[in-house]
Amino acid sequence: MIRVMKMMMAATIGLAMMPQAAGAQVLGSDAAACTSGGGPAILARIEGLKDRKGNLKLELYPANEEDFLQDDSVLVSAGKTFRRVQVPTPAGGAIALCIRVPRPGRYALLFTHDRDGKNKFNFWSDGAGFPANTKLGRRKPPLASALIDVPNGVATTTIRAQYLRGLGGFGPVE
């Protein structure tokens, strides 16, 4: 009986130490890297979606200007860091996406909301966001807005989606 109680306590402590996603189910092909608490991985809580259409994507890039937002085929052929996790947009509830990283360190992270499901960014309708949550405006986002440091475990960030909002460029949905 004491042995069973110890095992139950250990399991409870283990669950308490897992990164929480504010009640959200952790989504994506890398979800186990975040829910097991093992990592190294990034758990991104996504807020401010315009609607629940299309697909959600997280993309991982090297943390340097030259490679930031570079075409994935170029990065992969050069043996550089690139990873993508894509899921259909859930019909409701809080959203948390998980993406594995090759090793602890600094990376650049991009979130996109592909509303039409065509797997190509549509400037006029799709949304985007980065860990820094600074307003994107009408220019290419600076690398600094996408940087995230990942420890041996799981780094957690909240990303607020931004969409084209007239002449001011991209910003959060009000």
Question: What is the average pLDDT value for the chain, to the nearest integer?
Answer: 87
Give me the mean pLDDT over the 26-35 stretch. Answer: 95
Residue 71 has pLDDT above 50, yes or no: yes
Distance CA 126, CA 55 (A): 10
How many structural domains comprise the chain?
1
pLDDT in tens, 10-27: 333 333 344 444 567 899
- Residue 55 belongs to what domain range? 2-172
141 DSSP assignment: P
DSSP-derived secondary structure for 90-139: PSSS-EEEEEE-SSSEEEEEEEEEETTSSSS--TTT-EEE-TT----BTS
pLDDT in tens, 140-168: 889 999 999 999 999 999 999 999 988 88
Residue type, 165: R
Report pTM: 0.85
Structure tokens belonging to residue 149:
């440091």
